[in-house]
Structure 1
Amino acid sequence: MTAVAPDSGRAPVLVIGEALVDILVRADGTRSARPGGSPANAAVGLARLGHRIRLATRVGDDLAGRDIRAHLRDSGVELTEGSVVPGPTSTATAHLDAGGAATYDFDIAWEAPEVPAGPFHVHTGSLATALAPGADRVLKSVEAARRAGTVSYDPNIRPLLLGTPAEERPRVERFVALSDVVKASHEDLAWLYPRQDVDSIARAWLESGPSLVVVTLGPDGALARWRDGGCELPAAAVRVTDTVGAGDAFTSGLLSGLLDGGLLGAAPDAGTPRVRLGGRAAADVLASALVGAIGAAALTCMREGADPPTRAALERWRRGG
């Protein structure tokens, strides 16, 4: 898929996290493989929506790694120095049920490369913020990035690779507190905080630092909360092929809208809100970003694997085309 030409007027984005091969095992037993990894998917989604994207990741120098690099390059994503390393590329095997919902097995190694400094928006999450030894370097990178720009985070919990919820909560909450925008799924919250209400968790996270928390609710849409407001959005009615990459497409659609509206990028002046969500203009930007997120996820669900839309495709969807 050809990427949209980047718009130099938008803030540049650095994505930190894993790129791997998604192996799809369908309910009928057939298999296929394609590039994936939650942060890499979000990077591709943002690039296809016209943003300048650099990805700090770990990709092997094997055939699978070459395929991933070609996929990223074709979508307009640039790898940072040190992202290609000797050895095999990580894999995630997605087992699809009859309805297209996925469960995962992983064979992954994660060592974060050095990341460039600069005034830009940084997005991270998923296994990159959870797996040693790379997770500690990602945390330090996020702490440094906050001083120069804004940060978003998607925990994208993978229980098979983690400890207990009690062990993981402090790490997740540290990244939440460092972030300006947090996107999570209701499955993430159900695992981290068993039997707790999604809305109360989102509001508690807001109190710790972010300006915006958005929770995807699967077929029930999404819930968004910010300091002085909130809303719920229904999901788009589409014929689902599979759900692989839908959450990452939602993230890229959300961040794209916030970047387009100038709400993310350079660090704010001391004493001012990090993301100014008050006022009519910001409310309009946020509403448009949330609709774009729903649309990006819906279009991805209609395709096999993590295949987020271009800006042109998303605009057609907005117009009902």
Structure 2
Amino acid sequence: MILCVGEALIDMIPDRQGTPQPHVGGAVLNTARALGRLDQDVALLTGLSSDEYGRLIEEAMIESGVTTTQAVRSDRPTTLAIVELNDGQARYEFRDEGSALRDLTFADLPAPTPGTQALFFGGISLCNPPVADAFAEYATRHAASYLTFLDPNLRPGFANDPAGYFDRLHRMMQVSDIVKMSDDDLGLLHPDVSLEDAVAKVLAAGPKLLLLTLGGDGARAIHVNGTTARVPGQKVDVVDTVGAGDTFNAGVLARAAQLDLLDKSGIDGWTPEQMRSLIDLGARAAAVTVSRAGANPPRTHELPV
């Protein structure tokens, strides 16, 4: 079982006429749905509203094979992300004050269920308390027992306290085994240094493996022991990039499960061939997502060869 911990929300994405339409989204929910569609045993720990949008989210979870029993239910409203698309690139305005997600505390969160092998964290749920502190504490309490994957998906403009936000992410990196970042994320986290120096700073914080996505140039895996792997970009007609990085994460975790690598004690010995296999499936899965509108990750039979 892979337990994804983070946001489930509604992306309000404009249609061709410019009218916002609701799409189930959120970085961590996207990753969970993609894992379910890739035939993995996955659950989502999130705040789930009883409102109309919450029911839409739960239906999407069930449709994609995501276990819903870890969700914390309430009557607070669903978080909304207002999406603006510019040449296929997505910009977001989040509305989450007093939401089913934002008001979660550590005391609300159920422990990982028996059979859990890996934990995944990321997204806007790490930006602002109380939920951000709750999830950071959850990582600190449980990372020693499970392979832990963090995708910060940096949104400093959404954080009420940017300095506190970056401190929280640094503390989570200290207990994570795998950290994934885009090249843009890396520049935000460590500005005014070279890409390679920024990579070194992330690995010095504690993770064993950094996954670096490079847009059309593919992806790299850099192990703290110095071994690396790389895959080229996938050639695809891009509709939009919503959910691309989230799907990449799912592809990596799905391949790790297939290779029996969801074992915290074994990551020190991962080979370049294994790392390349992980990011290859991540890149191929993400290529399908960007070829269609919204966060609509592929099922196993839809993956390009």
TM-score for both structures, normalised by structure 1: 0.86
How far did 1:250 drift? 0.7
Rounded Cα–Cα distance in structure 2 between residues aligned with 1:283 and 1:185: 20
Q: Identity over aligned residues, as a percent?
A: 31
Match of residue 292 from structure 1: 281
How far did 1:218 drift? 1.7
Rounded Cα–Cα distance in structure 2 between residues aligned with 1:63 and 1:28: 24
Distance 1:49 1:287, change over 3 A: same
Match of residue 228 from structure 2: 230
How far did 1:80 drift? 3.2
Match of residue 114 from structure 1: 109
RMSD over aligned CA atoms reads 1.9
Distance 1:167 1:197, change over 3 A: farther
2:210 partner amino acid = V
1:300 partner amino acid = T
- Deviations along 1:36-71, one digit per CA (max 9) or x if unpaired, are 000000000111111111111012111111011000
1:276 to 263, 268, 285: 268
2:188 partner amino acid = W
Match of residue 249 from structure 2: 251
Kept in 1: contact 2:48–2:71 (CA 8 A): no
- Deviations along 1:223-270, one digit per CA (max 9) or x if unpaired, are 2211221233321110001000001001111111122212224x43xx
Distance 1:80 1:137, change over 3 A: farther
The answer on 1:184 being equivalent to 2:181 is yes
How far did 1:163 drift? 4.7
Rounded Cα–Cα distance in structure 2 between residues aligned with 1:237 and 1:147: 39
2:82 partner amino acid = T
Kept in 1: contact 2:248–2:282 (CA 8 A): yes
The answer on 1:100 being equivalent to 2:100 is no
Kept in 1: contact 2:46–2:70 (CA 8 A): no
- SS of 2:268's equivalent in the other structure is coil
Rounded Cα–Cα distance in structure 2 between residues aligned with 1:293 and 1:277: 20
Structure 1 window deviating more from structure 2 (226-235 vs 210-219): it is: 226-235
Alignment: residue pair count: 295
Distance 1:82 1:216, change over 3 A: closer
Rounded Cα–Cα distance in structure 2 between residues aligned with 1:164 and 1:65: 28
Match of residue 195 from structure 1: 192
1:243 partner amino acid = T
Structure 1 window deviating more from structure 2 (65-74 vs 151-160): it is: 151-160
Matches within 5 A, 1:167-178: 167-178=164-175
Kept in 1: contact 2:13–2:21 (CA 8 A): yes
- Deviations along 1:176-228, one digit per CA (max 9) or x if unpaired, are 11111111112222222222222222222222221210111222222221122
1:55 to 39, 44, 59: 44
1:42 to 28, 31, 50: 31
Rounded Cα–Cα distance in structure 2 between residues aligned with 1:306 and 1:82: 20
TM-score for both structures, normalised by structure 2: 0.90
* Structure 1: segments with no counterpart, 5+ residues: 1-11, 269-273
Rounded Cα–Cα distance in structure 2 between residues aligned with 1:134 and 1:255: 24
* Structure 2: segments with no counterpart, 5+ residues: none
Rounded Cα–Cα distance in structure 1 between residues aligned with 2:130 and 2:123: 14
Kept in 1: contact 2:227–2:272 (CA 8 A): no
